Amino acid sequence: NAGVTQTPKFRILKIGQSMTLQCTQDMNHNYMYWYRQDPGMGLKLIYYSVGAGITDKGEVPNGYNVSRSTTEDFPLRLELAAPSQTSVYFCASSYGQPTTNEKLFFGSGTQLSVL
Partner 1 sequence: LAKTTQPISMDSYEGQEVNITCSHNNIATNDYITWYQQFPSQGPRFIIQGYKTKVTNEVASLFIPADRKSSTLSLPRVSLSDTAVYYCLVGDKAAGNKLTFGGGTRVLVKP
Among 2, 14, 99, 115, binds partner 1 (CB under 8 A): 99
- 83 backbone dihedrals φ, ψ, rounded to 5°: -55, -30
Stretch that binds partner 1, among 12-20, 41-49, 65-73, 75-83 (CB under 8 A): 41-49
Sort strands 76-78 and 19-25 into parallel, antiparallel or unpaired: antiparallel
Site mask, partner 1, residues 5-34, x = CB under 8 A? --------------------------x-x-
The count of residues interacting with partner 1 (CB under 8 A) is 29
